[in-house]
Amino acid sequence: MKQPVQLIVAACLFGISSWSTAQWQWIDKDGRKVFSDRAPPTEIAEKNILKRPGKTAEPAQAKEDAEPATNKAEAVPPVPSAPSKADKDLEAKKKQMAQAEAAKRKAELERYEAERADNCMRAKQAKTTYESGIKIERTNAAGQREVMDDATRASEMQRIDRIIAKDCAPLPKPAQ
């Protein structure tokens, strides 16, 4: 009874080991080792295929090391392949996203500058009003009208001067 179980286990192990050797191994255009259960793309040179299902090949690096030094000097460097359509699409998307981000920043800066210009104009008008010396009435928290005294007028003028200093000054140019 033990022998049939051992045969089944041995057959399973043999099947697993032969299944695990059904792998491709090659060196891609960037010089990295690639392992796959599918054949390499057609642009991979035959010399860069290191292993095929069912048989192993001597690694390309070991072959180069075994050759004399004179052959290494004569070897032609690999020619870089043209970018694929996916790479071109990715670059186009990156460029488009960068342009959209730049446009968004520009629109936000224009909005901010318009707000500053409006604040500056209003502060200058308010300063002119306060400097004119006419009586200014305000509504207090209870909803009653009250005339502004000189101390309140002076503190309001200081607040307006700070707004003018902040919003009427030109923005520094961004570094490029």
CA angle in degrees (0–180, nearest 5) for 16-18-22: 110
Is the domain of 8 the same as that of 60? yes
Residues 6+ apart with CB under 8 A from 79: none
Contact 106, 112 (CB under 8 A): no
Is residue 86 a part of any domain in this protein? no
Instruction: Report, as an integer, the average pLDDT of 130-149.
Output: 89
Structural domain harbouring 10: 2-70
| pLDDT, tens digit, 9 for 90 and up, residues 9-54 | 766 666 665 555 558 888 988 888 888 888 888 888 888 888 888 6
Burial call 145-161: b when 16+ CB within 10 Å, e when fewer: eeeeeeeeeeebeeebe
- At residue 108, the pLDDT reads 94
Is residue 95 a part of any domain in this protein? no
Is residue 50 a part of any domain in this protein? yes
The residue count for the chain: 176
| pLDDT, tens digit, 9 for 90 and up, residues 56-95 | 545 545 445 444 444 544 555 665 666 777 888 888 999 9
Q: How many domains are there within the chain?
A: 2
Is the domain of 59 the same as that of 118? no
- Domain termination residue (choose one: 14, 49, 70): 70
The CA radius of gyration of the chain, in Å to the nearest whole number, is: 39
For 31: left if phi > 0, alpha if psi spans -120 to 50, otherwise beta; the answer is left
Instruction: Give strand ranges (E) for the chain.
Output: 24-27, 33-36, 49-52, 55-56, 137-139, 145-147
Is residue 78 a part of any domain in this protein? no
Beta bridge partners of 139: 145
Is residue 20 a part of any domain in this protein? yes
Is residue 12 a part of any domain in this protein? yes
For all residues of the chain together, what is the average pLDDT?
79
Residues 6+ apart with CB under 8 A from 52: 24
Is residue 105 a part of any domain in this protein? no
Q: Does the structure show a pLDDT above 80 at 7?
A: no
- Domain termination residue (choose one: 43, 70, 97): 70
Is residue 53 a part of any domain in this protein? yes
